[in-house]
Amino acid sequence: MAAPIKVVVTGAAGQIAYSLLYQIASGAVFGPEQPVYLHLLDIAPMMGVLEGVVMELADCALPLLAGVLPTANPEEAFKDVVAAFLVGAMPRREGMERKDLLAANVRIFKEQGQALDKVARKDVKVLVVGNPANTNALICSKYAPSIPKENFTAMTRLDQNRAQSQLAAKVGVPVKDVKRVIIWGNHSSTQFPDASNAVATIGGAEKSVAQVINDDEYMKGTFVTTVQKRGAAVIAARKMSSALSAAKAASDHMRDWFLGTGDRWVSMGVVSDGSYGAPPDVVFSFPVTVSNGQWKIVQGLTISDFARQMLDATGKELVEEKQEALDVCKD
């Protein structure tokens, strides 16, 4: 069996981590042959709760779990990790807008960027889940200049999974049979869930989802708004934000980044190079493929006038968020 790898989860006493830790420690992310040593970071007042999580992990008797380090010290938490799940942040509550969260959370990611820069491996792969995820990932990267910016990503996989599931239900096929759904832009209500390239396997043949559904109003209207507002719908129903599905999406994202996608497209927030007219130097969600641990933006897709408007709107929001975040960091 391989030597254990060190993996950090921040916000380890929180609700997403409660589902995520089991997935990592049971082999769902790094594979069934890869032991993991878990570093669990949370804030000092949560150390008692975190102790309970550590007890439960022990009680799971997981063969791949080589050890656990609970800590409130970012430098201890980030030391020598190959993968970082940055989940810890203040969650959005019912009726709260993302902008309210930005100031509070951006400071956390500035500090964590600085700590990563100091003690993490230079090849660490960082996934930011804590909101506003795209802008937090950008700030984290900016404060960790010794780590390549390609190593900082933000999670839009939950949005992709939500979109895929909506289309599968609409077309009437299992979710695994829907492919090439794209989330563009920000993980926020301006995100653009784009089904124009999506295909579904129906009766053994791949068909265009747009042609099968044949309802432009659904594709540009109901589908888009349902995915954009799904997080708010879960909060309204559960009185808490998405956790089980968020943890699953984080696992999917990191697994695909480490183990590759083949020719499957997945959506990831990555530092924009200006592809598809997106603003450069913001963390923008694109369709990517991954091989040998490196993601690559899928190129050559046609952008309709409708898509152009949607991409521009979400890009504009990211540029504004970036400016707000940089102003907060100056204080």
**CB neighbourhood size of 241 (10 A):** 17
User: Is 243 a residue that touches ligand NAX (CB under 6 A)?
Assistant: yes
42 is annotated as contributing to ligand binding:
yes
Which of residues 34 and 135 has its CB atom nearest to ligand NAX in the complex?
Answer: 135
Is 36 in contact with 80 (CB distance < 8 Å)? no
- Would you say 11 is a known binding-site residue? no
Q: Is there binding between residue 43 and ligand NAX (CB under 6 A)?
A: yes
Residue from 4, 60, 10 nearest 33 by CA = 4
Burial (CB count <10 Å: 0-12, 13-18, 19+), residue 266: buried
User: How many other CB atoms are found less than 10 A from the CB of residue 104?
Assistant: 11
Q: Which stretch binds ligand NAX (CB under 6 A): 141-149, 238-246, 292-300, 317-325?
A: 238-246
- Pairing of the two strands 5-10 and 36-41: parallel
According to DSSP, residue 274 is labeled -
Measured from each CB, the residue nearest to ligand NAX is 14
Q: Is 155 near ligand NAX (CB under 6 A)?
A: yes
Q: What is the three-class DSSP state of 311?
A: helix
Q: List the catalytic residues.
A: 187
- The answer on whether 214 is annotated among ligand-binding residues is no
- Minimum CB distance to ligand NAX, residue 88 (Å): 3
Distance CA 141, CA 139 (A): 5
DSSP run (H or E) holding 288: strand 283-291
For residue 207, give both structure tokens: 């068909």
Stretch that binds ligand NAX, among 38-46, 163-171, 177-185, 322-330 (CB under 6 A): 38-46
Please tell me whether 130 is known to bind a ligand. Answer: yes
Order of all β-strands in the sheet with 125-128: 65-71, 36-41, 5-10, 83-86, 125-128, 152-154, 266-271, 283-291, 294-297
Distance (Å, rounded) from C-alpha 185 to C-alpha 118?
Answer: 30
Angstrom distance (rounded) from CA 308 to CA 20: 35
189 interacts with ligand NAX by CB under 6 A = no
Using CB under 6 A as the binding rule, whether residue 16 contacts ligand NAX is answered as yes
Length, in residues, of the chain: 331
DSSP sequence for 104-160: HHHHHHHHHHHHHHHHS-TT-EEEE-SSSHHHHHHHHHHT-TTS-GGGEEE--HHHH
CB of 311 to ligand NAX, least distance (A): 19
> 186, 191, 242, 267: which one contacts ligand NAX (CB under 6 A)?
242
* Three-class secondary structure of residue 168 per DSSP: helix
Q: Does 71 bind ligand NAX (CB under 6 A)?
A: no
> Is 105 part of any known ligand binding site?
yes
Which one, 208 or 241, has the nearer CB to ligand NAX? Answer: 241
**Binding mask of the shown chain, residues 90 to 129, with x at each position contacting ligand NAX by CB under 6 A:** -xx---------------x--------------------x
| 40 sits near ligand NAX (criterion: CB under 6 A) | no
Site string for ligand NAX, 196-235 (x = CB under 6 A): ----------------------------------------
Q: Which residue number, 165 or 201, has a Cβ lying nearer to ligand NAX?
A: 165
Binding residues: 42, 92, 98, 105, 129-131, 162
Residues binding ligand NAX (CB under 6 A):
10-11, 13-17, 41-43, 46, 87-89, 91-92, 108, 129-131, 133, 155, 158, 187, 241-243, 246
Residue numbers belonging to the annotated binding site for NAD(+): 42, 105, 129-131
